[in-house]
Structure 1
Amino acid sequence: MLLGLVMLQVAGCDMVLFNPKGQVGLEQRNLIILATLLMLIVVVPVMIMALVFSVHYRSSNEKARYTPEWSHSRAIEAVVWGVPLVIIIVLGIVTWRSTHALDPYRPLESDKPSVKVQVIATDWKWLFVYPELGIASVNELAMPVDTPVDFRVTADGAITSFFIPALGGQIYAMAGMQTQLHLIANHPGTYTGIAANYNGPGFSDMHFKALALDQAGFDAWVAKVRSSERQLDPDGYARLAKPSVAHPVEHYAAVTPQLFQSLIDKYQGVNRSREVERRLSDPQGETPQGSKE
């Protein structure tokens, strides 16, 4: 009955997280289900007993046993403390192992070489650079099926989070920093990618399509991008990086080398300049009270 009510409530919801299309998403889904079932071992009996006790021991039930002197039961104490303890131990072991196995920085094991993609989050669009192919696309990501994808993620603006729910995992995109995420699509299809962290007025339209294609389809997509007349040079990127909402899909047949690294260096250079200015204004190297180096 309880399961039926839960299924009825979520019937109209998008269950993409429980219908993953990649190995990483599948393992994360299994972890969520296992953790939930372990916790329900405590939650469900407590809910049932709360209902049964309130009905059985109501004041009008003269058949209920009345024991006002009762104060302790070793059996109840063993269950109340023992069961949660066992659950915590099992959940801790499972979570520890899964956390390391699903480390987003950990490359996926495969007999195929991974496709490298550099992800740049701007206001409010996603730029995908394929450094090995020398091409780029805006708000459209393509990957071959059953091939690991090595994402390197940064931001040229506000912090946000890179997330493809159907494939699992999400990772923050931060200016001046590089994060990593390894995913794989095991089923062909078109999946939705989103910005999972609010980052301004264009947040709700900051999404993209992730195309999981067979090798022939991926090769055709690459050829299509290379046929574009656009080239992503510094001036072109400066125009692209200007804030825009619901930006259309764009393809670039050529990309300035080291564009991704230059964006990281830009913000790191700003941070170093601020540090130099701080030290020049405080030649004694004194740290303001309440702050840390």
Structure 2
Amino acid sequence: MKSLKPLMILLPLSLLLFLSGCETNMVVFEPQGPVARSITDLINWSLIWMLIVVVFVFALFAFIIWKYREKPENMDYEPPEEHGSTLLEVIWTGIPILIVIALTIPTVKTLYALEEVPQSLEDKEPITIHVTAADWKWIFSYPDEGIETVNYVNIPEDTPVLFKLTSASTMQSFWVPALGGQKYAMAKMETELYLAADNPGSYMGKNSNFNGRGYAEMEFEVLAQTQSDYDEWVQEVKDTAPKLTENKYEELLKPTHLGRMTFNDTHLAWVDHSDMKSKTYTNPELYRYHGYQGKTFEEDDNYKNADETDESEKDEDSHGGHSEDEHDSHGGEHHGH
């Protein structure tokens, strides 16, 4: 039995690594904010109970096989007829109930806590950022600052951020693994998600919902900055970024992959995608003829490119799509780094 114990402990850990694609650098186990830490603690609590169950079951399995194995002295043994044990039945029914209770109570408490400002940051006023999902890009609107960005969002460190999620078309899933769990962004609805970052840093976000050929490359960056760097970035955008127009915004909503973009003003002035009466921007004719356009952004912010407007107009084709040259032109300096 002693030789079996290390194997019993390694089995669930090996299974966990196998299910994660043999990836040892699991971001969810390296939380970078209070929300992510709460989720990680809950995951660890669940793993502890699963490990206890697996070790106990494997140990009991090995013990029973060894104790009741067939031996020469019991070859002709016929067990007597039994009607069961009430005590044992109560025990093996009660134990799973207790385990479910031990998992349910912290899960419910954590889920409700995640809907509020993290306790460690309750003394700080949260900033609000509206998130609009579109195929296949993320649009971030800062209503108080009058700024809109595409495929990246800057936030101050140690500050709660209230993300208000919606979609202009299909349902997407907003997820920043290092900072918190995922929530769905749905057209004509609004969901809310609090996130915060402990320290300055760059964190990847993605769409974790399967909703078409281009969803896997629908990524964005969350850049946590010091308060002074964040304020400097906001002021620089106000001084230099182009004004967002309704026509430009509707062009952004077409099913394409884009680079990072930055604008003054937000689309909230003329459309609220969480409103039940708002327009849905699905552009089915572009899906039918073009599939998905472009590729994941690898360039920086494009708003200082003087020829951006000319390029976008020149590359517009008969179906309203974009050529690959346009997507390659999204470059420039990404302010905030």
Same fold by TM (over 0.5)?
yes
Q: Secondary structure at the match of 1:89?
A: helix
Match of 1:215 in 2: 227
- Post-superposition offset of 1:38: 2.5
* Contact in 1 for aligned 2:134/2:168 (Cα 8 Å): yes
Q: Is the 8 A contact 2:12 2:51 kept in 1?
A: no
DSSP-derived class of the 1:169 partner = coil
Unaligned 5+ segments in structure 1 are: 272-293
Matched, 1:43 2:93: no
Q: String of CA shifts for 1:12-51, please: whole Å, max 9, x gaps.
A: 3331111111111111111121123234433321122123
Tell me what 1:284 maps to: none
- Report 1 or 2 for greater relative contact order, CA contacts < 8 Å, sequence distance ≥ 6: 1
Contact 1:118 1:260 in 2 (8 A): no
Partner SS, residue 248 of structure 1: coil
Instruction: Report the Cα distance in structure 2 between the residues aligned to 1:12 and 1:269, rounded to whole angstroms.
Output: 42
Where do 1:157-168 residues align within 5 Å?
157-168=169-180
Say whether residues 1:204 and 2:216 are aligned partners. yes
CA contact (8 A) 1:39 1:87 kept: no
How big is the shift at 1:184? 1.1
Q: Within 1, Cα distance between the matches of 2:251 and 2:45?
A: 48
Deviation, 1:87, is 1.8
What 5-or-longer segments of structure 2 have no aligned partner?
A: 1-5, 281-337
- Whether 2:3 is the aligned partner of 1:28: answer no
Instruction: Tell me the percent identity.
Output: 35
Task: Choose from 136, 151, 175 the match for 1:124.
Answer: 136
Amino acid paired to 1:154 = T
SS in 1 for 2:64: helix
1:268 matched to 2:277: yes
3-state SS of 1:50 partner: helix
Structure 2 residue corresponding to 1:79, chosen from 68, 91, 102: 91
For 2:98 and 2:150, the matched residues in 1 are separated by: 49
Number of residue pairs matched by the alignment: 266
Equivalent residue number for residue 96 of structure 1: 108
CA gap of 1:92–1:6, structure 2 versus 1, over 3 A, is closer
Q: CA deviation at 1:198?
A: 1.4
Which letter maps to 1:198? Answer: F
**Equivalent of residue 107 in structure 1, options 117, 122, 131:** 117
CA RMSD in angstroms comes to 2.6
Deviations 1:166-222 (A, max 9, x none): 111221111111111111111221111011111222101101011111112212332
Is 1:252 the counterpart of 2:227? The answer is no
Equivalent AA in structure 2 for residue 268 of structure 1: K
1:42 touches 1:84 (CA, 8 Å); kept in 2?
no
